[in-house]
Structure 1
Amino acid sequence: MVNAIFCAHGQLAGAMLDSVRMVYGDVRVSAVAFAPEENVEDIAAKLEKLVSAHGNEEWLIAVDLQCGSPWNAAAGLAMKNPLLRVISGLSLPLALELVDNQETMSAEALCDHLTTIASQCCVVWRQPETIEEDF
């Protein structure tokens, strides 16, 4: 079992968790918001409190932006905790896949899987070209 946290700017993490619950009901995921008056240390303290409550278990923190404050806070914790992984690009498809696989995959395998899913989720719809045929 991989414990999971969504962490993002503003209310995105909580909204993402609400959306995931619409599909799966109650899930083992926490949400950490990054408020405008907070800094990296504030986020890190929130994340550390959640992680330390579960001892020596694997964790995956999904953040919205690489190199943003949630990323920096989570990555700082991951540097000190080999059981913690961080992935950026939090989206509904990524969040659903995370929840769908958190009980059957290791944190490392889940990160690999989510990276593949993320690359498949961005699709552009284009108007099909019409071909006129001579009759």
Structure 2
Amino acid sequence: MNFILSGHGKIACEMKNSIEMIAGIYPNLYTVTFEPGDSIEKLQDKYLQIINQSKNQPFIIITDIFSGSPYNAATILAMQLSNIEVISGLSLPLCLELLNLDFSLFNIENAFEQLNDVKMDFIKSYKSLSKHVSTEEEL
């Protein structure tokens, strides 16, 4: 499976740097930046430059904001190309989980469903957790 990280500014590049700091190099991990002045068409061209080099292999494009320009450009391509899935909510836990999924067990359409634990568990509130722990200790 191939992955493209994309978002506003250089967030995708910095996310890749963080991933590599924690988990090592992923040769199938690419980044696309969305710079001031870029259009949807320019983003699509950036995605296609990467996708076309991979000879029809599947891609998951992970974008920062649902319905933002990087997401919209990616979904236009996903409507045209069956080998692309688009997921929003770019974060380090999401990326680490996706990169470590065993894609031999399921296809690209099932990737999002495999992330149920991450979708529910990666956003935490210290105060909410500490209240829950305090309540349990009182029992």
TM-score above 0.5:
yes
* Identical counterparts, % of pairs: 32
Using a 3 Å threshold, how does the CA distance of structure 1 residues 115 and 53 change in structure 2: closer, same or farther? farther
Q: How many residues align?
A: 131
Does the aligned pair in 2 maintain the 1:102–1:110 contact within 8 Å?
Answer: no
Pairing 1:1-135 to 2, within 5 Å after superposition: 2-27=1-26, 28-101=28-101, 103-104=103-104, 105-126=106-127, 127-128=130-131, 129=134
- Which range is displaced more, 113-122 or 76-85? 113-122
Which region of structure 1 is more displaced relative to structure 2, 79-88 or 97-106? 97-106
Runs of 4+ with deviation above 6 angstroms:
none
Measure the CA separation in 1 of the matches of 2:51 and 2:111. Answer: 18
What is the Cα deviation at residue 101 of structure 1?
1.4
Which structure exhibits the higher relative contact order, with contacts defined as CA atoms closer than 8 Å and separated by 6 or more residues?
Answer: 1
- Is 1:34–1:70's contact at 8 Å kept on the other side of the alignment? yes
Please say if residues 97 and 114 of structure 1, whose CA atoms lie closer than 8 Å, have aligned partners that are also in contact: yes
Cα RMSD between the aligned structures? 2.0
**Structure that is richer in helix per residue:** 2
CA 1:98–1:10: 2 relative to 1, 3 Å: same
Q: Any idea what SS the aligned residue of 1:90 has?
A: coil
Shift of 1:112: 1.4
Q: Secondary structure at the match of 1:31?
A: strand
Deviation of residue 109 (structure 1)? Answer: 2.4
TM-score (structure 1 length as normaliser): 0.88
AA aligned opposite 1:32:
V
Task: List runs of 5+ in structure 2 lacking aligned partners.
Answer: none
**CA shift for structure 1 position 108:** 2.0
Question: Separation in 2 of the partners of 1:20 and 1:42?
Answer: 26
- For 1:83, the aligned partner's letter is N
Q: Which runs of 5+ in 1 are unaligned?
A: none
1:64-119 CA-to-partner distances (Å, cap 9, x unmatched) read: 01110000110010000011000000100001011111654532222212354122
TM-score normalised by length of structure 2: 0.85
Q: State the secondary structure of the residue aligned to 1:101.
A: coil
